[in-house]
């Protein structure tokens, strides 16, 4: 994770499934904060009846236009994890 320092990152966002891919104490020791991000699909208008989650961001953009960002924000949750001591 040397690229975090190279890019002058102060925070690292990760999906729960990515957790086994890095060593949290080493990242925290470099002064980088860790945030676990969860996304729960929010229903939006689609052309066909019903709602199919997790299609693609393009489906969301074509169906919701400028409201796509708000839809994504509604489904996003983030919490700091492994807080440095």
The whole-number pLDDT of residue 46 equals: 94
- Does 58 have pLDDT greater than 60? yes
List the helix and strand counts (H, then E) for the chain. 4, 3
Rounded average pLDDT over 65-69: 96
The whole-number pLDDT of residue 85 equals: 45
Rounded average pLDDT over 9-25: 91
Rounded average pLDDT over 24-33: 90
Question: Residue 10: pLDDT band by 50, 70, 90 thresholds?
Answer: very high
Q: Where would I find the H helices in the chain? A: 2-6, 24-29, 57-64, 68-75
The 3-class secondary structure across 4-22, one letter per residue, is HHHCCCCEEEECHHHHHHC
């Amino acid at each position: 994770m040397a690229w975090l320092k190279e890019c002058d990152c102060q925070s690292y966002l990760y999906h729960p499934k990515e957790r086994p891919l890095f060593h949290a104490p080493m990242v925290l020791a470099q002064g980088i904060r860790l945030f676990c991000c969860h996304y729960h699909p929010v229903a939006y208008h689609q052309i066909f009846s019903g709602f199919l989650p997790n299609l693609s961001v393009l489906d969301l953009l074509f169906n919701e236009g400028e409201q796509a960002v708000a839809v994504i924000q509604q489904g996003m949750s983030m919490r700091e994890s492994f807080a440095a001591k």
